[in-house]
Amino acid sequence: MARMANRRYPYTMSAEIFPRVTVDPNICFGKPTIRGMRIRVSDVLSMLAGGMNADEILADYPYLEREDIRAAIAYAAKATDQRLAFAAE
């Protein structure tokens, strides 16, 4: 839904781009976040990559749900599922 934001960007949209993953230019500079909260998908992925498990993340961030963590992983998998082209040497 469009709403008035400011003079520079008069209309912005918050969009769910993947289940539980939203993008809003007014939240975290438009980076993908979990359900419009100020926790980025990359934050969740970094915690997992750093060795935290889902239970530890949920204990540290009680407003997150297990499905949010799954959505972050699924979003990352989909975001990286693209054909790569490499320049010949």
Question: Does residue 28 lie in a domain region?
Answer: yes
Question: Does residue 56 lie in a domain region?
Answer: yes
Question: Does residue 42 lie in a domain region?
Answer: yes
Residues 32-80 pLDDT 10s: 999 999 999 999 999 999 999 999 999 999 999 999 999 999 999 988 8
Q: Residue 78: which H helix or E strand, with range? A: helix 66-79
Identify the pLDDT of residue 15: 79
Identify the pLDDT of residue 39: 97
Place of tokens 């230019």: 25
Question: Does residue 72 lie in a domain region?
Answer: yes
Question: Does residue 43 lie in a domain region?
Answer: yes
- Contact status, residue 20 vs residue 34, Cβ threshold 8 Å: yes
Closest alpha carbon to 27 in 83, 61, 16: 16
Which residues contact residue 38 at a Cβ distance below 8 angstroms, ignoring those fewer than 6 apart?
Answer: 27, 28
- Structural domain tally of the chain? 1
Question: Does residue 9 lie in a domain region?
Answer: no
- Expressed as residue numbers, the domain containing 37 is 20-79
Model confidence, pTM: 0.76
The one-letter amino acid code at 80 reads T
Residues 11-27 pLDDT 10s: 445 677 888 999 999 99
Q: Residue 29: which H helix or E strand, with range? A: none
